[in-house]
Amino acid sequence: MENYPNLASQKSTYIVKQLKDFREGRRQDPIMNNMAASLDDVTIKSIAEYYSGQTSK
């Protein structure tokens, strides 16, 4: 888990940008590019708001 970023409390606008960047290939990571590939804009926004509202462990 050490290599994976924490998303809890991250700004939703930041998460939206990263997921769109992964989806469009502007940001490169083999796992995340695949994961983001099938997400539409509305889904990305809900994911971002969900994680943004979580508190860190």
Residues of span 8-27 touching ligand HEM by CB under 6 A: 15, 18-19, 27
CB of 56 closer than 8 Å to CB of 20:
no
Contact (CB, 8 A) for 48 and 12: yes
Under the binding rule (CB under 6 A), the answer on residue 4 touching ligand HEM is yes
From 26, 35, 46, 49, residue interacting with ligand HEM (rule: CB under 6 A): 35
| Cα 25 to Cα 19: distance, rounded to the nearest angstrom | 10
| Binding interface with ligand HEM (CB under 6 A) | 3-5, 7, 15, 18-19, 27, 29, 31-32, 35, 47
